[in-house]
Amino acid sequence: MADLKTDTSPPAPNWCESTRLLHTGDSAATRLGTEARIVNPPVQRASTVLMPNAASLYSLDQPSYGRLGLGVQAALQTALCELEGAQDVALFSSGAGAITGALMSVLSSGDELLAADGVYRPTRRLCNGTLKRFGVSTRYYPARASVDEIMAMVGPDTRAILLESPASLTFEMQDTPAIAAAARARGLITLIDNTWAAGVLFKPLAAGVDLSIQALTKYVSGASDVFMGSVATSDPRWSQALKTFVLETGWAVSPDDCYTLLRGLRTLPLRLQRHGESALQIAQWLEAQPEVKSVLCPALPSSPDHALWRRDYSGICGLFGVILQPAPPRAVEAFLDRLTLFGLGFSWGGFESLAIHCDPQVQRTARPWLGLGPLVRLHIGLEAPSDLIADLRQGLDVFAAACEGTV
Ligand SMILES: Cc1ncc(COP(=O)(O)O)c(C=O)c1O
């Protein structure tokens, strides 16, 4: 059996994912002399790389410019390849940047993109703004559209399909493997924003998707203190296109941020399991509360997406939606303001619980969103579920009182 104290060889394929993620991304840079090694890669902060001689200045055999990434960037990329089951991973300075990088790497002027109506709102802004300005048009398909509905929208200029499943804010799911297969048969590229699944709960590349995008800012970090995004692929064409795009546009990620994210990645499966177990318990509890109309979480048997989720996902993360009984905005605000353990904030995936009301930002153009009540999004953190339930209950008491006009 390999001696892990000295072995920096790749993890064995028969190890469980959680074991592989702990022992991947080791690099020669972790060695001290010939015998000893440190656990984490050293952070090399460098723009300038001093080359050993004139002949090596233009050689492609070794890194010669810090922007292209040194040891710790490479270690994170290796670990993310393991997570995504990918041949290659490109890093961007945020999740939004990764979406931009992925789309601009595969699309050209004159191309059309079909995008899920439930994409993350800044993705829609990118499509309707910068991409449009560069000659790429976007049409949106309903967040729960069938494969046939999507394929019926394909036109002569359609080049790619951008999925997000579950949808941002409203959590509708799509049959990703079927869409990827149909798209491939028509020569179309598929991309997915897989941030909700954190690369763990669903494996897009294995499901036939060409490019898997993730905001590492969320669960890979797990601590709400760093931005980064990744695009994973096993197709040499897209791998090359991403490399060229990163090189030509000058994206760079800091070694300190890569170090922080690699550290987060080591504990990702463990944290995600706890987020998911707590989220399910709280979602089930919420479903039984009189102030709640419905809970938008595919792990609940009441969800129209439950069968798809069971088939394709190995669990849930901590993020889901709650539709409250119809109420004036002040009642929803009173509920949120009353919460003490749930912070009011947008960027999820950290160890702490969060809540926002979503109605001001839900934007659907393919099919109107008919939530039939105020929509709140919860992120269930790593606190004890019983404490979170108690916090939600006292918030719902204030909500109920506000609905009756007694506060
Ligand atoms: C689904 C999804 N994708 C991408 C992003 C963007 O990530 P970042 O904040 O790192 O740009 C977010 C952020 O909230 C998100 O929710």
Active site residue 219: no
Give the active site residue among 203, 218, 338, 364. Answer: 218
The active-site residue out of 88, 117, 175, 193 is 193
pLDDT in tens, 214-264: 999 999 999 999 999 999 999 999 999 999 999 999 999 999 999 999 999
Ligand 1 centroid, distance to 54 Cα (angstroms): 44
Q: Which residue's alpha carbon is nearest to atom 9 within ligand 1? A: 95
Annotated catalytic, 120? yes
**Burial (CB count within 10 angstroms: exposed 0-12, middle 13-18, buried 19+), residue 378:** buried
- Residues 42-93 have pLDDT tens digits of 999 999 999 999 999 999 888 899 999 999 999 999 999 999 999 999 999 9
**What's the CA-to-centroid distance between 95 and ligand 1, angstroms?**
5
pLDDT value for 6 = 37
Question: Best mutation site among 91, 92, 119, 120 for ligand 1, i.e. most ligand atoms within 8 A of its Cβ?
Answer: 120
Instruction: State the distance from the centre of ligand 1 to the C-alpha of 98, rounded, in angstroms.
Output: 9
Residue 5's pLDDT is what?
38
Q: Would strands 137-141 and 158-164 be described as parallel, antiparallel, or unpaired?
A: unpaired
| Cα–ligand 1 centroid distance for 117 (angstroms) | 16
Single out the residue of 289, 221, 297 nearest to residue 259, CA to CA.
221
Which is the catalytic residue, given 67, 159, 184, 274? 67
Substitution candidate for ligand 1 out of 92, 172, 347 with most atoms within 8 A of CB: 347
> What is the Cα–Cα distance from 11 to 240, expressed in whole angstroms?
26
What does the mean pLDDT of the chain come to? 94
For the sheet with 137-141, list strands across it. 88-92, 229-233, 211-215, 189-193, 158-164, 112-116, 137-141
| Confidence at residue 152, expressed as pLDDT on a 0 to 100 scale | 98
Share of the chain above pLDDT 90, in %: 88
Rounded to a whole number of angstroms, the distance between the first and last alpha carbons of the chain is 67
Closest protein CA for atom 15 of ligand 1: 120
Average pLDDT over residues 90-108: 98
Of these residues, 111, 117, 120, 124, which one is catalytic? 120
Residue-wise pLDDT for 116-142, tens only, equals 999 999 999 999 999 999 999 999 999
DSSP 129: I
- Over residues 321-335, the pLDDT tens digits come to 999 999 999 999 999
Distance 399 CA to ligand 1 centre (A): 29
Is residue 120 a contact partner of residue 169, using CB atoms and an 8 Å limit? no
Nearest CA to ligand 1 atom 16: 120
- Quick one: angle between helices 236-249 and 95-106, nearest 10? 110
Ligand 1 binding pocket (C-beta < 6 A) is 94-96, 120, 168, 193, 195, 215, 217, 227, 229, 347
158-164/112-116 β-pairing: parallel
339 CA to centre of ligand 1 in angstroms = 24
Peptide bond into 166 cis (omega under 30): yes
Overall residue count recorded for the chain in this entry: 407
CB-side neighbour CA atoms (13 Å) of 223: 11
Digit-coded pLDDT (tens) for 355-393 = 999 988 899 999 999 888 999 999 999 999 999 999 999
Nearest CA to ligand 1 atom 8: 95
Question: CA–CA separation, 380 vs 275, rounded Å?
Answer: 6
